[in-house]
Structure 1
Amino acid sequence: MKVLRLFQKEAGVGSARFLILAALSGLSNAGILAIINLAASHVQDKEGNLVNLLLFGITIFVFVYTQRSLMVEVCHRVEQLVDRMRVRLIARARRAEFLELEDVGRAEIYSCLTRETLILSQAAPNLVIGIQSAILVIFTMIYMAFLSWTAFILSAACTIIGALVHISRNTQVKAELRESFEQENLLIESMSDMLEGFKEVKMSDARAHAIAQRIEAISHRVTRLRIRTQTTYATDFVFSQVTFFLLTGVMVFVVPAVSEAYTQVVVMTTTASLFMIGPVSNVVGSIPIFTNANSAAENIMRLQERLGRINGHKNGGVSSLADFKTIVLDGASFAHAPAGGDRPFTVGPIDLTIRRGQTIFITGGNGSGKTTFVRMLIGLYPNQGGTIRVDRATIGPFNIQDYRNLFSVIFSDNHLFAELYGQPAPDPVLVSELFELLEMQHKSRLENNRFSTTKLSGGQRKRLAMIAAILEARPICIFDEWAADQDPYFREKFYRVILPLLKEKGVTVIAITHDDAYFDVADLHVHMDTGRLKIIRGEEKALEMAPG
């Protein structure tokens, strides 16, 4: 099982110390049975039973010590393993490119980081109990062989039959668990659709009903799969119990009738077979937990391998690009992968020079390629044709992150972080000025690099995002229809006050906008139409600003 290999390889479960503790625990447990049988057969020997009592106490102590040490150590190591796996998944996801992570899907990543790691964590105590019980069964059967080969052969036969029954069902159960995992990912996606698009859901009974029906249908499928697998496990559990009850009945009623020698040890072998019912039940009961844990390990390892194949771009130690004078797009282009038989939508080839300190407006209809162009410009989408140069440096995999660090971006669907991650504590005077400029001083505060609240209206959240973007102090700010969420007063303030203020500070501003009343603010106005860019106004002005 992959979960056992994973625990052995990365958590050390299966090391010599672990195996020794497990063996001592199982041996001491079987020893308790042997001492009780020995004492019961010599109950009249009081002196001898004092020795047995001493052995009984020592064996109990060994069992308690080894069992507790085993469980604590395994839980400790497995929790550290789960922590390492979470950190590793996050690190690999962070290094992935935007398109690659979109292809993997959030639902699978969320599932592996939460549900699957929780299953592994919860499996740790049952791993100890299951292995220790299996060892106890082995030692008990060895003890049975010492008492009677007939009892040993019958016990071994029952154990082998039970194992074969489980193995015959294992492939089917694994397939059902895999299907259940995929369906649960769809359930997470559907729930995300409902919660993230709750405003839209509330505005349409038909949409709300359709989403609810989809969630119900997926939930019912998951339930049916879970019931099917749990029914299989329940059947196996009852089968194992009945098998050993029948074994005990055979030992008591059948074997003594055909073997006179056996009658001398019938009580001890019967006691041993009854003693085995508990450990066998533990082993069988741990099978569904092991199977679920194995499925979780497979899902996590599959995601790790998938993310591991993604070659995250790393800088090659190049000098900072922050002092740039121009960014030149020379034939840059990007094409979305076609869906089905559709033709791919291509943005470009685009030729454009962006000069430091410019204010650039981008206009265009819905679906014209504005957002795709901006994502290509900032390095979220790979440039598939031509080049992007910062001064004389060509942007490629070796310096793409250095290039991205030039930009502060507020997307149209921007995620507002409650904390200013990765930023030093800002100047309190500047923070106060920005809150007053954006008129947010009575709505939220910045305390210990965290906003006191982000539970605000859409426009107010965009204003907090503006504060965070300016505090990043990057040379280029990109605003994707920022003013669309503002009232007329703040819309005008954005164009007439905030943008000129940023220009005075030498910040290059690129704004996607439809507000034609303020086009005069821009140094350069470009228009997107079906993936092609056209300069509408400002080309002569841009040439006049060219250095040299």
Structure 2
Amino acid sequence: MTTSETTGNRSATGNMFVLFGFLIREGNLLRSPVLAFAVLASFTRSGMIYAINTIAAGASLALGNVALLAGCIAATLTFSHLARVASFRLVETTRRRLRMQLSRKLLNARAGFLARNDHGKVYSIVTQEVNEISHASVNFIESLEAALLIAFCIPYLFYLSWPSGLATLAAVGIGGIGYLVAQAPAQASAERASRTEWVFFDRVNDVLRGYKELRLRQARKAALQSDIDDVATRERSLKLVAERYYSLGQVIAQGAMMGLLCMIVVGLPLFAGTETSTVLQILTIVLLTYGPIETVLGNLSSFSRAAVSKYLIDQLERDLANDAETRASGPVADRTAFRSIELKGVTTVLSSTTAAGGDESFTVGPLDLTLTPGEVVFICGGNGAGKSTLLSVLTGLRHPDGGAILLDGTPVAEADAPAYRSLFSAVFSEFHLFNRLYGLTEAECDALPAHLADLDIDHRVGIDDGKFSTLALSTGQRRRLALSVALAEKRPIIVLDEFAADQDPVRRALFYDVLVPQMARDGHLVIAVTHDEHCFDKCDRLIRMEAGRIVSDTRQKRAERQAG
């Protein structure tokens, strides 16, 4: 992969400027005390160097010079301490802002975004890349303090000996050029290493989520382990390549500084005729600024890594912005009732990549369907018939590519989706249980224990301080727990995708004969995907789907169904 392929239109140097602008903007450096502390620390350290040289040149311990030296040392230590504490605060503030910003954008993205993107990529960016940038903010303050000290001392070097000032500028310049030479290939390798790390996180996710399947087949377990080893090895190799380039830049910088010291100790007396006392003064300045110069040049590799992280975060944020839901202009109130939901000519195009590398699409629809409160609607059909896509469109998780959804006769625009979705509670085939009762009102929390009892799950799970006592349950128990939350929400529409598939015969009968009729009597529209043909007579409407179309919509009188 070439540099242009990995960094897109942004150059390596451009990445750095973007990073610095971000650190200054997000850290509020122009108003933060950390900048003042860094300036004062550099100024007092310069004063310390001046005091040392003054005492050495005068060969006397004048009280004023000694007091100046002691005061500068004390002030330097104090301001350096304050700058480090403020820098740590800046690190945590930057990390918190980035994580909050990314999590907010993830929550505001369309539901299909995470369905299409690898979770390892998102997890790595929100954790690893954010950490890289937040740590760079400390290095930024350190480098700023060191650069200010160098800026204060170089004029002093020119005052003592203009060749020494030129030599110092040349050493810093050579070190900077060495870094620039190594920066572009180093950033390219670092970015490829980060992308490889995304794959590693995906493989870890496979280990955590597929632990049962892995233990049933040793060959699968060994193959996954081999893949993890391969990914980890590739990541290591790419990071080593990046580090070689970063190290090359630092070696050039260190060589320039060593040459500077040799020039001062040997070159100035031999070729410039500089007096020994002046050479000692110059040497004192260079030795006391040697560390800060190394800090500035050494931190360039840290900034380069952080620039790659910022580039990857920016890419994710652009993707999230392009896939963000259209937001309503004002606050959205939940809908508590509806008269009808109508699908008119709704179509949805599903795209996928074939084994040969080509693209293929599958169209669900056009779908025409009208739903009203109090109905029990069963949906059946083979795999790939479009049932799950229908549920995604119907619940507002996916905006249709064609046609319209009408709520009480009014088309549902994308900006109306949050209010429209508030009509639904759902237990999808692939559902997620939160251990905390996020978003539930006090009344809903109070109603939850009764639903736990109705679903025969209260002996396994309790509620303590707004969270479930355990989620270590069987699949069927977890599904009943999810339904208890859905019932407690008292939404007008309840969607259940293959709910009875994981239940034993007794609880399956409880679902079809007790729970579903009770939900309908309570005024809920119940929409259930099911393959239990022997229970098809327990619904008001049976919708069959094939090849993305509704092929039949059979209605039976509710009284007949209840009598049956």
Query: Which residue in 2 is equivalent to 1:445?
Result: 462
Task: Give the letter aligned to residue 370 of structure 1.
Answer: K
8 A Cα contact 1:240 1:280, kept in partner: no
* SS of 2:415 mapped into structure 1: coil
Q: Would you say 1:90 and 2:125 are equivalent positions?
A: no
> Is 1:515 aligned to 2:528, yes or no?
no
Shift of 1:264: 4.2
- Aligned residue for 1:399, secondary structure, equals helix
- The answer as to 2:439 corresponding to 1:422 is yes
Partners of 2:445 and 2:397 in 1: how far apart? 32
What is the TM-score when the length of structure 2 is the normalising length? 0.90
1:333 paired to 2:347 = yes
Number of the residue aligned with 1:483: 500
Aligned length: 541
The answer to whether 1:269 aligns with 2:282 is yes
Q: Residue 358 in 1 paired to residue 375 in 2?
A: yes
* Contact residue 367 and residue 530 of structure 1 kept, 8 A: yes
Tell me how far apart the structure 1 counterparts of residues 266 and 209 of structure 2 sit (CA, whole Å): 67
Question: In structure 1, what is the equivalent of residue 552 of structure 2?
Answer: 535
Q: Secondary structure at the match of 1:506?
A: coil
Would you say the 8 A contact 1:425–1:449 is kept in 2?
no
Q: Distance in 2 between matches of 1:429 and 1:291?
A: 53
SS of residue matched to 2:414: coil
Q: Structure 1 residues 369 and 255, CA, compared in 2 at 3 Å: closer, same or farther?
A: same
Matching residue within 475, 492, 504 for 2:509: 492
Q: Is the 8 A contact 1:477 1:508 kept in 2?
A: yes
Aligned to 1:113: 126
Q: Could you list the runs of 5+ residues in structure 2 that have no partner in the other structure? A: 1-15
Aligned to 1:257: 270
Equivalent of residue 211 in structure 2, options 195, 198, 201 = 198
Match for 1:329: what amino acid?
Answer: L
1:32 partner amino acid: M
Deviates more, 1:311-320 or 1:408-417: 311-320
Instruction: Pick which of 309-318 and 126-135 moved more.
Output: 309-318
Segment drifting more, 357-366 vs 22-31: 22-31
CA contact (8 A) 1:356 1:508 kept: yes
Deviations 1:392-431 (A, max 9, x none): 1211213221111111110111101112211112367743
1: distance between equivalents of 2:494 and 2:423? 9
CA distance in 2, matches of 1:456, 1:20: 56
Structure 1 window deviating more from structure 2 (237-246 vs 272-281): it is 237-246
C-alpha contact (below 8 Å) 1:315/1:402 kept by paired residues = no
- How far 1:316 sits from its partner (Å)? 5.9
- Give the SS at the match of 1:426: helix
**What SS is found at the alignment partner of 2:440?**
coil
Query: Which residue is equivalent to 1:183?
Result: 196
Range with greater deviation from structure 2 (240-249 or 34-43): 240-249
Q: Which residue identity lines up with residue 334 of structure 1 in the other structure?
A: T
More divergent stretch after superposition (143-152 vs 431-440): 431-440
Q: Which is further off, 423-432 or 326-335?
A: 423-432
| Inter-partner Cα distance in structure 1 for 2:279 and 2:544 | 94
- CA 1:528–1:543: 2 relative to 1, 3 Å: farther
Deviation at 1:99, TM superposition (A): 1.9
Corresponding residue number in structure 1 for 2:338: 324
1:23 to 15, 20, 39: 39
SS in 1 for 2:442: coil
Partner residue of 1:4?
20
Give 1:98 shift.
1.4
RMSD across aligned positions (CA): 2.4
Structure 1 residue aligned with 2:308? 295
Say if 1:481 and 1:511, in contact at 8 Å, map to a contact too. Answer: yes
Instruction: After TM superposition, list the pairs within 5 Å mapping 1:190-269 onto structure 2.
Output: 190-269=203-282
Please name the residue that 1:456 is paired with. Answer: 473
Describe the superposition over 1:484-525 as per-residue Cα deviations: whole angstroms up to 9, x where unpaired: 111121111111111112122111111111111211111111
* Contact 2:90/2:137, CA 8 A, preserved across alignment: no
1:38 to 35, 42, 54: 54
Residues 26 and 150 of structure 1: is their aligned pair in 2 closer, same or farther, counting only changes over 3 Å?
same
2 CA distance for matches of 1:238 and 1:128?
23
Relative distance call for 1:316 and 1:247 in structure 2 (3 A) is closer
2:66 partner letter: L
**Counterpart-to-counterpart distance in 2, 1:290 and 1:423:** 44
Residue in 1 that maps onto 2:295: 282
Q: Determine the structure 1 residue equivalent to 2:7.
A: none
Provide the secondary structure at the position in 2 that maps to 1:13. Answer: coil
Q: Contact 1:313 / 1:398 at 8 angstroms: preserved in 2?
A: yes
Distance 1:154 1:346, change over 3 A: same
When residues 543 and 216 of structure 1 are mapped into structure 2, their CA distance, relative to the original with a 3 A threshold, is same
Asked whether 1:348 is paired with 2:361, we answer no
**Letter of the aligned partner of 2:448 in structure 1?**
V
Aligned 8 A contact 2:334 2:423 in 1: no
Q: Which amino acid aligns with 1:484?
A: A
Check conservation: 2:44, 2:73, Cα contact below 8 A: yes
Q: SS in structure 1 opposite 2:544?
A: strand
Deviation at 1:289, TM superposition (A): 1.8
In 1, are the aligned partners of 2:445 and 2:488 still within 8 Å (CA)? Answer: no
Q: Give how far 1:461 is off.
A: 0.6
Distance 1:23 1:430 in 2: 60
Q: 1:341 to 1:128 in 2, by over 3 A?
A: closer
Letter in 2 for 1:119: E
Q: Distance in 1 between matches of 2:292 and 2:410?
A: 69
Structure 1 residues 75, 544: closer, same or farther in 2, change over 3 A?
Answer: same
Unaligned stretches of 5+ residues in structure 1: none
CA distance in 1, matches of 2:220, 2:74: 64
The 2-side partners of 1:427 and 1:289 are apart by 50
TM-score, L = length of structure 1: 0.92
Matching residue of 2:4 = none
CA distance in 2, matches of 1:240, 1:14: 30
- 1:325 CA drift (Å): 2.2
Aligned equivalents of 1:316, 1:29: Cα separation in 2: 54
Q: How does 1:145-156 map onto structure 2 within 5 Å?
A: 145-156=158-169
Indicate the SS of the match to 1:336. Answer: strand
Give the conservation status (yes or no) of the 8 Å contact 2:118–2:202: no
Alpha-carbon offset, residue 157 of structure 1:
1.5
The answer (yes or no) to whether the contact 1:370–1:512 under 8 Å persists in 2 is yes
Q: Does the 8 Å CA contact 2:455/2:480 hold for their aligned counterparts?
A: yes
Question: Residue 375 of structure 1 aligns with which residue?
Answer: 392
